[in-house]
Amino acid sequence: MVKVEEKEGKVQKADAKNKTAILTMTDWEQKQLVALDQYAKLYPQSDKTIGVIYQAGYLFYNKNMFKEASERFRTVIAMNPKSKDAMTAANLILDSLNLIEDWSTLKEVAKAFYDQPNLGDTAFKKELYSVYERSSFKLIEETTKKDSDQAKAANAFMAFYNEFPASEVGDLALNNAAAYYYNLKQRAEAMQARILLIEKFPKSKYYKDQVGLLGFDYESMGNFAEAANWYEKLFALDKDHANASDAIYSAALFRRALGESDKAVNNFRQYIAAYPTKDNVQQVRLDIAKIFEDTQKWDQAAATYLDFYSQKDTSGISPDLLIYARLRYGKCLVAQGQGPKAEKQTQESVEWFKKAKESGTAFTSGVEFVAEMMFVLAEKQFNEFSAMEVSGPKSKVSRAQEDKALTDSCSRRQRPSRPSRPPTPTSSTPAPVSGVSRPSSGSVRPMRTLGRRS
């Protein structure tokens, strides 16, 4: 009869936009329902009665009349909890509540069926508990959407985990609880939730996030050693994680500050290897060299600086960093007792700087680095000059002594030197020019006084 009514267009189809909208029964379905109810009243002890009542309930269920359906399904369950019809009826009651998204009632009914003795077998009980669990979680989610009280939400998710520690959504509950506690600045509670998730759900999709966030919690507390541990763990888990690069870089900084230079260098090197295109990679290379300097590992520091500015392609490196590396390399050589080599390298670096400037390279802080190099070179010459011995009095002299010394010095400079004896005339001495007589010493006239007329 149903097929006939379908052909005649008498069967109302479900609304695609509202799947729980109540549908009207056809004439035949109404008559069938009356007949089923009458049978149940007339023959309550019949073996067929439980099935008849189930059919009546299903008619209502099929038309989205869940309240009427539930009444009949509950009767079926009460009549014989162990029967197959009872388990199916219980499932349909729960399904109807799920369809209308009545999470509160669904949670209560699922728990009631779970606690009801003899209702279903072990597998069915497990299914009922799962419904109870999922509806409990869904109820928390829906309540949180309507209520902005984050404290209630955090505690509710935490309570859910405590009640269902093995739940398939237990990790989500802990993740949400941690987020709400963090927003409330309840760091201890947030960390507790994160640690539980990490310990109990190592395969959770939230696992890596919580590892990184736990590291951040320790960093916020000033526990940099523990923060570094968790940041290194995140990097080891997944180098492609959104926070992995920041994590390993921060871990390197913390290790350096803690005096753990070897770990700091290792972290920096891992950072360079994993993220070679990062903007700060060249600076990190210099940081490694500086760590070697700070720990007086001069040979390693020198090698690192030399490798830095000797790269084949330095087009992408700031010229300031290049000249800085040259400056530090020279200092490392000096620290190793290689003064002459350092002087030569410093001179070469100054020349490199001059050529770079001439070609249009712009320097900022690099100018200061070169100034320091030039000072070092000038200082060496000054020291050499200062070391020269100069003759003179060994103690303070008077003004008269100074004047006398000056006069004597000038006299020595102006007085022509005399030979030890007069030269002996030789045959090569030229004779006086004929016709010119030499004046005698007595005939020499004094010079006229300047300004007087003759």
Q: What is residue 454's predicted lDDT score, i.e. its pLDDT? A: 38
- Choose among 364, 280, 367, 289: nearest CA to 330: 289
* 437 token code pair: 């007589």
Q: Between the CA of residue 400 and those of 158, 376, 407, what are the distances in Å?
A: 100, 41, 10
Q: What is residue 25's predicted lDDT score, i.e. its pLDDT? A: 85
CATH number of the 1-146 domain: 1.25.40.10
Residue 252 DSSP SS3:
helix
| Residue type present at position 197 | L
Domains in the chain: boundaries: 1-146, 284-378
Q: What is the pLDDT of residues 337-377, one digit of tens each?
A: 999 999 999 999 999 999 999 999 999 999 999 999 999 88
Q: Between the CA of residue 222 and those of 17, 47, 247, 254, what are the distances in Å?
A: 55, 74, 15, 10
Q: What is residue 414's predicted lDDT score, i.e. its pLDDT? A: 54
Asked if residues 50 and 76 have their Cβ atoms less than 8 Å apart, the reply is yes
Who contacts 29 (Cβ-Cβ below 8 Å, separation ≥6)?
A: 2, 59, 63
Looking at the structure, give the CATH architecture of the domain made up of residues 284-378. Answer: Alpha Horseshoe (1.25)
Its sign, for the CA torsion 280, 286, 290, 291, is positive
Reading phi first (left if > 0) and then psi (alpha if -120 to 50, else beta), residue 271 is in: alpha
Q: Fold identical between 1-146 and 284-378?
A: yes
Asked if residues 239 and 267 have their Cβ atoms less than 8 Å apart, the reply is no
Phi, psi angles (nearest 5°) of residue 424: -90, 125
- Choose among 407, 318, 410: nearest CA to 365: 318
Q: What is residue 63's predicted lDDT score, i.e. its pLDDT? A: 87
Residue 273 DSSP SS3:
helix
Who contacts 210 (Cβ-Cβ below 8 Å, separation ≥6)?
A: 175, 178, 194, 197, 198
Mean pLDDT, consecutive 10-residue segments, the chain of 454 residues? 52 62 85 92 92 92 88 93 93 93 94 93 93 96 92 97 95 98 97 98 98 98 98 98 98 98 98 97 97 97 97 92 96 96 95 95 94 87 60 60 59 51 40 38 36 38
Per-residue b or e along 274-312, where b marks 16 or more CB atoms closer than 10 Å to that residue's CB: ebeeeeebbebbbbbbebbbeeebbebbbebbbebbeee
